[in-house]
Structure 1
Amino acid sequence: MSLMKPLGGEVSVHMAAPVTEVWDLVSDVTRIGEFSPETFEAEWTHGATGPEVGARFRGHVKRNGVGPVYWTPCTVTACEPGEVFEFGVGLDDKHLNTWGYRMAPEDGGTRVTEYFRLTPAWYLRGYWLVLGRLRGKTNERGMRTTLERMKAVVEA
């Protein structure tokens, strides 16, 4: 049944750079504006100064690069240097979706996978049923753009 499929997607890119360099880039939320086609800036909040589980930040988003501009509150939910950096979007423990990066050594460089998952709430399942294919493709294009821009930086 299509409503039970995962509500999300992912994109992977190989980067000719060590895992430590890639980690430093993906876990520094203050640099996301250099790479993302939708989130043009981010800042640590609530006393956070860097990546760790529970650290909070907010992203300044312009949906599809043309929509309304708004801030989204985020909380780091997984933080294993060189392996995974993940954060939930939404207030406190009520995350609407989760975004993250997984890293693994590969062919002298790093395989980086950016992913997103919507929280499996009934209203998000309805949204995904109606707009999921379109939004999923938009997110996949955005993730590929983000990763390719990061790749250009770490390979320079």
Structure 2
Amino acid sequence: MKWTGARYTDKPTVEVRTWIDAPPERVWALVADIGLMPSMSRELQSVEWLDGATGPVVGARFLGRSKHEAFGEWATTSHVIECEPGRVLAWAVEDPADPTAIWRFRVHAGDGGTELSEWMQMGPGRSGLSPAIDRMPEKEQQIVFVRMREIEQNITLTLDRIKQLAES
């Protein structure tokens, strides 16, 4: 089968949105509390602020430890690259100039509730997928496709859990 999907160097993205019957301040409080994220993820095991940071501000760093049956266990350092309290939180994984990924939450008030989106861009920096792509370059598009679908499922789970917490 010939895959015609994205290659890693294309910096593929995925975005999932949900509407939450709660005020944006409540949703933001959950998004900004990175300590909650491991309880909402199949992969993320723990998160801790670094360098004395206690919350998201541009330039703050945090360490995340993750686990995946195919990739094993790993740790990454993320750098907050965008933070507009109540609206946007984004971070670059590893090197902000050449990240392995960029993640972004957006909070929008509307219709008496909140629209929450989570977006992720893969690459361009080398990541845990890079060794598999190096070994099987002919399967790169398939590898990227499968990983992006996993990430989409994980984002959907995270947003569902934030929605449950915000609405309870």
TM over 0.5: yes
Q: Give CA deviations for 1:102-147 in whole Å, capped at 9, x if unaligned.
A: 1101221111111100233699899563412111110010000011
Greater strand content: 1
Q: Which amino acid aligns with 1:26?
A: V
Structure 2: gaps (5+ residues): 134-139
Q: How does 1:32-47 map to 2 (within 5 A)?
A: 32-47=37-52
Q: How does 1:1-156 map to 2 (within 5 A)?
A: 2-3=6-7, 7-63=12-68, 67-91=71-95, 93-120=97-124, 127=133, 129-156=141-168
Distance in 1 (alpha carbons) for counterparts of 2:22 and 2:150: 27
Tell which structure's C-alpha radius of gyration is larger: 2
* Alignment coverage as a number of residue pairs: 155
Residue 100 of structure 2 aligns to a residue whose secondary structure is: strand
Q: Taking structure 1 as reference, are residues 121 and 75 closer, same or farther at Cα in structure 2, changes over 3 Å only?
A: closer
Q: Give CA deviations for 1:17-59 in whole Å, capped at 9, x if unaligned.
A: 1111111111111111121121122010112111100000011
Question: Aligned-pair RMSD on alpha carbons?
Answer: 2.5
Q: Taking structure 1 as reference, are residues 71 and 148 closer, same or farther at Cα in structure 2, changes over 3 Å only?
A: same
Q: Which amino acid aligns with 2:120?
A: F
1:155 Cα deviation (Å)? Answer: 0.5
TM-score using structure 1 length: 0.87
Residue 99 of structure 2 aligns to a residue whose secondary structure is: strand
Residue 41 of structure 2 aligns to a residue whose secondary structure is: coil
